Amino acid sequence: MKFVRFATARHPQGVYGLVGGDGLIEVLRGGLFDAPECTGEVLKEGDIVRYLPPVDPPNILAIGRNYYAHAMETSDHPPAAPLLFIKANTALSAHEANIVLPSAAPTRVDYEAELVAIIGRRAKNVPVEEALDYVFGFTCGNDVSARDCQAGDGQWARAKSFDTFAPMGPYVVTGLDPGDLLVQMRVNGETMQQQSTKDMLFNVPCLVSYLSHSLTLMPGTALYTGTPSGVGIARKPPVLLKPGDVCEVDIAGVGVLRNRVVAEAQADGTCAGTMRLP
C-alpha cells in the first residue's frame, strides 16, 4: 500500500490518503498506523494544496557511511558497526517544501539521498530475522548536511539538524523488500548518486536489530539508512547546494521526493544579516 499525508482546502490540518494505481487518492480516517478506513472521498494529486511529512517521528535516527564507496570517499575506512547519529525533529520537512540554506552555514550544504524506514511498533532487543516485522514501510529522505559544521564541530548533530534538513516523503510504501532498491539523487535533473541498497554495509534488518539493542524504537521513528557515494563534497570540483537548485530523491518502488533550495533571506522575506559565531 502507498500512503500520502497532505492538506487541502477541505482538510487544512492534514489527512492521510491511500494512493491507487490510477493515481487517485482515497481519503482515510485516522492515522498512519490505524487500519485503513476510507471516508468515501476520492481526490486527485492535483487537489493537494500542500504535502505534509508522512509521519511525526518521536525520533529521527540516521546512519553514517553505510555504503562502502561512500565511506571511502569521505573517510579512510568503513565503520566496524553501524554509525548512529540523531537529527533534530525540528529539521523535519516535506515533499515540495524548501530546503533553506542557513545564514550560519550558507555555502557548504550538501545533499544525501537515503531510504528511510518507518518503525511501525515498539521495538526492543529485536532479533535480526524478525526485524522487518517492526518496519511499517519506507519513504524517501534527504539527509541534508552542512559540511563546514560537520567538519568543525567534532560531531554531526548541528550539521544535520538545521531547520528543513530532514525532508521526507511524499509516500510511505508498505510491503517492500528493502534488500535491492535503486537509490538516486538528481540535482537540477543531473544524476549525482545512483546505487542499490544491496550495497549497504549494514542492511535494514541489521540496523533495526542493532539499534533496538541500544534504545527502544517507538512507532513512527524515522530511520535514515545511509547514503550512496556521489555526495557533493566528494566531487571534483565539489558540487554544493545553492539557491535555485532542485533536489530529487528517486527510490525504486517508493517514489520521488522533490525539494527546492532557497537562501534563508528568501525563506522569510527579510535580510538574514551576518551571524557572528563564538
Instruction: Assess contact for 37 and 44: CB atoms under 8 A.
Output: no
CA end-to-end span of the chain: 49
State the Rg of the chain over Cα.
18
Which CATH number applies to 60-268: 3.30.300.30, 3.90.850.10, 2.40.70.10, 3.40.50.300?
Answer: 3.90.850.10
pLDDT at 267: 54
pLDDT at 75: 82
Return the percentage of the chain with pLDDT > 70, whole number. 95
pLDDT one-digit tens code per residue, 246-267: 999 999 999 999 999 999 975 5
Burial class (CB in 10 A: 0-12, 13-18, 19+), 36: middle
DSSP annotation string for the chain:
-EEEEEE-SS-TT-EEEEE-TTS-EEEESS-TTSPP-EEEEEE-GGG-SEE--S---S-EEEEES-BHHHHHHHSSS--SS-EEEEE-GGGEEETTPPEEE-TTS-S-EE--EEEEEEE-S-BSS--GGGGGGGEEEEEEEE--EEHHHHHHHSSSHHHHHSTT-EEEEEEEE-S--GGG-EEEEEETTEEEEEEEGGGBSS-HHHHHHHHHTTS-B-TT-EEE----S--GGGSSS-----TT-EEEEEETTTEEEEEEEEEHHHHHTS----PPP-
Q: The whole model's pTM is what?
A: 0.94
More confident residue, 154 or 204: 204
Rounded Cα–Cα distance for residues 74 and 191 (Å): 19
Domain boundaries, the chain: 2-51, 60-268
Joined together, the cell numbers standing for residue 32 give 498512519
pLDDT of res. 106 = 84
In the chain, which residue ranges form alpha helices assigned H by DSSP? 68-74, 147-153, 157-161, 204-212, 264-268
Tell me the CA distances in angstroms from 189 to 120, 165, 193, 194, 247, one per residue in order.
Answer: 33, 20, 12, 13, 8
pLDDT-wise least confident of 37-46, 75-84, 140-149, 202-211? 75-84
185 within 8 A of 195, measured Cβ to Cβ: no
Residue 216's pLDDT is what? Answer: 98
Spacing of C-alpha 124 from chain mean position: 23
18 and 25 in contact (C-beta within 8 Å)? yes
pLDDT tens, residue by residue, 213-250: 999 999 999 999 999 999 999 999 999 999 999 999 99
pLDDT band at residue 154 under the 50/70/90 scheme? confident
